[in-house]
Structure 1
């Protein structure tokens, strides 16, 4: 009986060595991925006032509409919305953004109000920008809300004259909008406008 030589007893076959090396490399790669620092993004937080000013400056409408005065500011998590109304011609401008700046701004003519009921602004924008409804409260209204098609109810923000109903995560298309008075009685109900 021949005894194995010491160098043969401790040696590892070629395929086994390859598998061992591969396992070591995979383990090292996994450790590197776990310890890897987070990727830097090019985006840096922008103060909301600065982002809103940039949104207004980037307005696409070539006609002057007078000085835009901020009437509403709404916050939902990191997202925000600001509504401006011109002091001259009947014009409304809306800016939306988040902590990294503005991502949308659009303006619309303020149409003549109906003789009664809710007064919406934006016309076709109510469909083109389906995350927001804007308009003017009817006389005597102190609250406004929209019941979405899903059944969710969004409470609007208002300044006593102008209102915005907005959610960055829900569409207001097809909603039923209700304005109520201080006593909770319904003053006006209307479907959200469609284009």
Structure 2
């Protein structure tokens, strides 16, 4: 096969993928997710600025937290949260890392724990898929996520890793449908990108 034929074949595959994601609403979903995420992120940053200037000195607050709780306790709480439905916003912990004695070290540890927590969530999902009663219950509760994972696979994991969509829930959904683990851990690495990008903003605000 000539190089021109290979190039044409690649372009055809990309075109077909583009058409598929357009027809199935993936691009619309990403746009909506980004719009929805920008507002809470903007409000969070604005609230941090207002609270810092008018109510609480974050330097004192996080100094108090550091003096009261060891880093191991704080990282442990974060790890549990990231492994089970992502109940606590990661931004709070990123702000804590920014005021710690070693910001980049703790930021990296947070990213590693979030990534590892997602993997645990993935295997929770795989375990759930083997329990009919629990599976049937969660399939209804997580119908939207499961449907989207089945439809878009890795691209939704990319969105879950980068945007403020609970990464744990996306990971559980991926496990429930037995999504290929090798691809999951590859796409999930973008979780690190999210933490470092958010830190660029939060470290300069708090």
Q: Which of the pair has more CA radius of gyration? A: 1
For Structure 1 versus Structure 2, the TM-score category normalised by the shorter chain is under 0.3
1 or 2, which has the higher strand percentage? 1
Provide the TM-score with structure 2 as the length reference: 0.21
Highest RCO, 1 vs 2 (Cα 8 Å, sep ≥ 6):
2
Q: Which has the higher helix share?
A: 2
Structure-1-length-normalised TM-score: 0.22
